[in-house]
Structure 1
Amino acid sequence: MNDTDTTPDMPGMPDWEKRFRAPRVSLPDWAEDAPHRCLFMSNATGTYELYAWDRSTGAQRQVTDRPNGTTDGVLTPDGEAVWWFSDTDGDEFGIWMSQPFGGGEDSPAVPGLAPSYPGGLAIGRDGTAVVGRSTDEDGTTVHVVRPGAEPVEIYRHRESAVVGDLSHDGTLLALEHTEHGDAMHSALRVMRLDGTTVAELDDTRGGEEELGLEVLGFAPVEGDGRLLVGHQRRGRWEPMVWDVIGGTQRDLSIELPGDVSAEWFPDGSALLIVHSHEARDELWRYELGTGALNRIATPAGSVSGATARPDGHVEYLWSSAAEPPYIRSTSGDAVLDPPGPRAPASVAVEDVWVDGPGGRIHALVQRPAGAAGPLPTVFDIHGGPTWHDSDAFAAGPAAWVDHGYAVVRVNYRGSTGYGREWTDALKHRVGLIELEDIAAVRAWAVASGLADPARTVLAGGSWGGYLTLLGLGTQPDSWAVGLAAVPVADYVTAYHDEMEALKSLDRTLLGGTPEEVPERFAASSPLTYVDAVRAPVYISAGVNDPRCPIRQVENYVDRLAARGAVHEVYRYDAGHGSLVVEERIKQVRMEIDFADRYLGCGAP
């Protein structure tokens, strides 16, 4: 293991810490009518903040500077202002602020709107803004805010909804909504800014055959009413073009396996296709006039973001598990390199397919170079649940590998990227289904000689933290240590305390509220099985977390303490995770130290 390095950039620092501290930048967004003006996120100061970049002069400046960081921001179409979302210490509840692109004072972007959870934002060329909001009292509301005028409410519903996009001329609004009660499958409504409906698109069928839709964006052309829509009609995500005014739908039938997303090229003649399949991504250009599909060359790995520029070139953010991220253009040029040293490389992933109770399960495996098993092994479970692990650079798994552990990441049922049926399998037996898949992959890891069965660690954050606590109680013989970050621990209390949009998701997953289906909430709650937990368990939680609130974590911890179970708890002043680099390093160090202590491991 290459544990330390004495190069001038970070002398004597372990590689795993360098990967967290190395400056990173996100793919720059650009203003539609001023494409030289860009906005990106970086951790260059040690906290993730927003930065403005004028490509015509090369000038960059930091826009936001807050103790707990800032990630949500957009440029106005003319590039004159940056809108950014201001919450309190990561609680995701706040207001939109505005700052001139060139610098200056922050001011409320929408005076008159009270704080809320964000529900989407669209800004028109005339300065009109459409603001989506969510509160526990009102559900979802959408307001139109014209320059110099008071906000006008044009939409309200108890179920979740999100502002999708404004048409190029600012007359049409696309809204994703779940008025039908299924938060996993949205329907679409196109409205005028007075709140009247222009057109509806709804693929929900009721029962077990709900299909989802998503807004991918209006055509970026004046007077063009075409809306690019993602749909699941063929069992996976793929795009189509909906002529909202004409009422026609054009099925593009792009024959690529896996999920397909898209965005417009700026002249509206072609689509930039992002193809995700078996934990890796590809880019393609689709010609709307001819149907021609041409591959855009990128290395094998993951594309975390891509955008088509007005000059026809495509810029993309790429990485793999072994290679740290970079941003490049199809012109061959580097786009935006972060300041300072690049993160050290890690080891490549191995693909594993395991037969499980619901079909073949895809897992990604990393192990220390040259190491022979059986090894202490961390099953690092992704959050979401509708998300997936990919062949992308991740400092957390790389840190475990540096410390002599194998790392296994499982794309269990409920994960995206393997078709609608795989994702939608996650209903009613929530948590238990995912753990069946994780158990099957663990059995493979032990039988193959990779994992030492006496030194297997179940770990994860958010939904992965939830599965960790649930797994420790329902599979107590399988796990030697549990590490749960920002978890759901007491499902009933979590439901009552969490943000309104997540209540909708939980009702969809479990088929009702805790009062309507108490047996399902009980079967899926880690608190139900807390007395069966035998492994030492480490829990970290943000005291301002609106997604996995602190009270339900404390309920679980109190039960552990009452029976004298081995556990440690770390509470920190943030929300659903931290945007501060040193805080992230501290938490990873504490998790590794905890596992080493109880497994008898240590850095080789």
Structure 2
Amino acid sequence: MTESNGSDARDQRDQQEQEVRAAQQERMPDWEKRFRAPRVSLPDWAEDAPDRSLFVSNATGTYELYAWDRKTGEQRQVTDRPNGTTDGVLSPDGAWIWWFDDKDGDEFGVWRRQPFAGGADELAAEGLDASYPAGLALGRDGRTAVIGRSTDEDGTTIHLVRTGEEPVEIYRHRESAGVGDLSHDGSLIAIEHTEHGDAMHSALRVLRTDGTPVADLDDTEGGTRELGLEVLGFAPVDGDTRLLIGHQRRGRWEPLVWDVASGEETDLALELPGDVSAEWYPDGTGLLIAHSFEARSELFRYDLASRALTEIPTPPGTVSGATARPDGSVEYLWSSAAEPSAVRSTSGGVVLDPPGMKSPGSVPVEDVWVEGPGGRIHALVQKPEGSSGPLPTVFDIHGGPTWHDSDSFAAGPAAWVDHGYAVIRVNYRGSTGYGRAWTDALKHRVGLIELEDIAAVREWAVTSGLADPDRLVLTGGSWGGYLTLLGLGVQPDAWSLGIAAVPVADYVTAYHDEMEALKAMDRTLLGGTPEEVPDRFEASSPLTYVDRVKAPVYISAGVNDPRCPIRQIENYVKRLEARGAVHEVYRYDAGHGSLVVDERIKQVRLELEFAERHLKK
């Protein structure tokens, strides 16, 4: 065969393979395409080498880290692990990519690093044993790192690590803490801590690199006030001691600038409803403002000298991440319930468009406000185009609990809509984005307060004619999975079916088996340990009400999950089995969810099939 004939044969095979893939995609349902379509995160970029970026993508079918040289256009897959990798940081000089290496999703591991241009991975911090991560900050000198670690034995420790030297412990406490940021010149370290015992509301401390304190800021007053602070970043200027922080002094998240050397605080006092966050522009003269209100978000530039606030135009929907580039442009990750996510730029167009199949869109979301026992509840509703009720309806409950559903693209709810269901997502008390009081309202009656809000929205959905009361599905993952199991027992006549992913099922056993940071959170939510406040744990545990469950139950669980461990789920399942309750359990080899696309599609398919088998026609 001549060289020309060989080339023609290869071209023909390539053409045939492309035609086969195109035919497979044509037959694939839209709901599956949404999961398989390649997507990317907002690219992070190196402070001193802005042409070097790092992002996450599912292009290979598993979420992994990718290096992107913007100057040459070259993209390179950095990690390749069976269960995926999403935790990575680019060093300020752009020379190294740090990534967290755990075992099969158990979140317990070590930091490794790899040269940006490629090469062998190496242990990034010799002398530090495996732990749960508690923050990471990398120095501009190329040899300094500040590493936060959390273990059951030590609580939280923070170490200063320099290449060629032994790690030096600069902070230790039994309560949860984390690395916030390292100053531009590498002389100051900001940490968030909860030494006062309230894991929901952090205080701040700034340390020198030898661990000696420089300044403290604590809005909790020893835990007597429920006000939190967060580190947003040091000013990007050598010798500048200004630290951008978030505070809750007016009942919502807002930014202010704290000079840790002089103690001066500059409150921006922005007249924007809802939560406000910020990050520095690269020259330190302004702030990129991210404003979230009633499930949507928008961007602004704030000039520190003139105190002028200028809107940065973005489409209606949700900006889930944004960054200001050295040229003054802003890149942001945007989506809406109807339109898939894209990385856009104020300089025009899509910044990073992955090749391959494009995700189908979905239906837009509608806003509903329902009067509830604790105030007006915001719910987001999607339903099949042209449909009219009453419809089989899925209450898809978000996790967290300190999180909220927004007008953003989500493949899971869209799959239910494709199959003829209405989908309702409830931003119950405990959700973020509606003020501090709304977020903090669930303390001590954990789970029960959220269910009161969900019940109020359920009542609206039925009486409005949208939802068929005989075909109501309660579902969610993580905290949403917990509320699903709790709801099936506390409200047994309200739900036709329950689908819980990686849930808390037995609160006492979950507390004893979970990672230390979550134990601290549970002590804050419930006011103590199971031994100290047994009645509260019992009242908030799905296991307490398992014998009242009437609806068929589907549970999926990761066998390596450190957040909702498998033993406490098995305890709940045994109780279902003992009374012959209709249930199915799916266990998979990963942690708190899966980063593998095929596995995620399998889980959704099993959920859809379970609903199809058990809902009344």
Count of equivalent residues: 596
Q: Which residue of 2 aligns with 1:140?
A: 156
1:38 pairs with one of 38, 53, 58:
53
Aligned match of 1:88 in 85, 96, 103?
103
TM-score, with structure 1 as normaliser: 0.98
Structure 2 residue aligned with 1:190: 206
SS at match of 2:470: strand
State how 1:533-544 maps to structure 2 within 5 Å.
533-544=549-560
**Which of 74, 93, 105 is 1:78 aligned to?**
93
SS in structure 2 of the partner of residue 111 of structure 1? coil
| Per-residue CA distance 1:281-315 (angstroms, 9 max, x = gap) | 00000000011000000000000110000000000
Identity of aligned residues (%): 80
Q: Is the 8 A contact 2:470 2:616 kept in 1?
A: no
Structure 2 residue 400 is the aligned partner of structure 1 residue 370 = no
1:342 aligns with 2:358: yes
| C-alpha separation in 2, matches of 1:258 and 1:48 | 32
1:80-127 deviations in Å (ceiling 9; x for gaps)? 010000000000000000100000000100011000000000010122
2:320 to 304, 322, 334: 304
Distance in 1 of aligned mates of 2:588 and 2:58: 19
Q: Is the 8 A contact 1:9 1:341 kept in 2?
A: no
Q: Render the CA deviation track for 1:182-238: whole Å, top value 9, x for unaligned.
A: 000000000001000000000003566310000000000111110000000000000
- 1:332 is matched with 348
Residue 339 of structure 2: aligned partner: 323
Instruction: Please say if 1:450 is aligned against 2:466.
Output: yes
List structure 1 runs of 4+ shifted beyond 4 angstroms.
6-9
Taking the aligned partners of 1:294 and 1:9, their CA distance within structure 2 comes to: 47
Aligned twin of 2:166: 150
Q: Secondary structure at the match of 2:113?
A: strand
1:393 corresponding residue in structure 2:
409
Alignment match, 1:62: 77
Equivalent residue for 2:16? none
Partner of 2:33: 18
Structure-2 residue corresponding to 1:118? 133
Counterpart position of 1:3: none
Unaligned runs of 5+ in 2: 1-20
Residues 196 and 223, structure 2, Cα contact 8 Å, conserved in 1:
no
Give the equivalent residue in structure 2 for 1:262: 278
| Aligned-residue RMSD, C-alpha | 0.9
1:497 and 2:533 correspond:
no
Whole-angstrom distance in 1 between the partners of 2:178 and 2:543: 32
CA distance, structure 1, for counterparts of residue 453 and residue 195 of structure 2: 32
Question: Is the CA contact (8 Å cut-off) linking 1:120 and 1:132 kept in structure 2?
Answer: yes
Taking the aligned partners of 1:543 and 1:410, their CA distance within structure 2 comes to 29
Which residue of 362, 367, 371 corresponds with 1:355?
Answer: 371
Say if 2:317 and 2:335, in contact at 8 Å, map to a contact too: yes
Match of 1:408 in 2: 424
Consecutive unaligned residues of structure 1, counting only runs of 5 or more, are: 1-5
8 Å CA contact retained: 1:96, 1:109: yes
SS for the counterpart of 2:25 is coil
CA distance in 2, matches of 1:334, 1:540: 36
- Residue equivalent to 2:570: 554
Contact kept, 8 Å, 1:227 with 1:241, in 2: the verdict is: yes
Report if aligned partners of 2:471, 2:616 keep a CA contact under 8 Å in 1.
no
2:392 is aligned with 1:383: no
SS at match of 1:415: coil
Maintained 8 Å contact 2:197/2:223: no
Q: 2:302 aligns with which of 280, 286, 296?
A: 286
Distance apart, 1:333 and its partner CA: 3.1
Matched, 1:595 2:611: yes
Letter in 1 for 2:583: H
The letter of the residue matching 2:229 is L
Q: CA separation in 2, counterparts of 1:205 and 1:169?
A: 31
The whole-number CA distance in structure 2 between the counterparts of 1:598 and 1:8 is: 33
Q: What is the distance in 2 between the residues matched to 1:596 and 1:376?
A: 11
DSSP 3-state at the match of 2:544: helix
What amino acid maps onto 2:58 in structure 1?
N
3-state secondary structure, aligned to 1:492:
helix
The residue type paired with residue 154 of structure 1 is: I
Partner SS for 1:307: strand
- Pair 1:523-2:539 in alignment: yes
Instruction: Give me the TM-score of the superposition, normalised by structure 2.
Output: 0.96
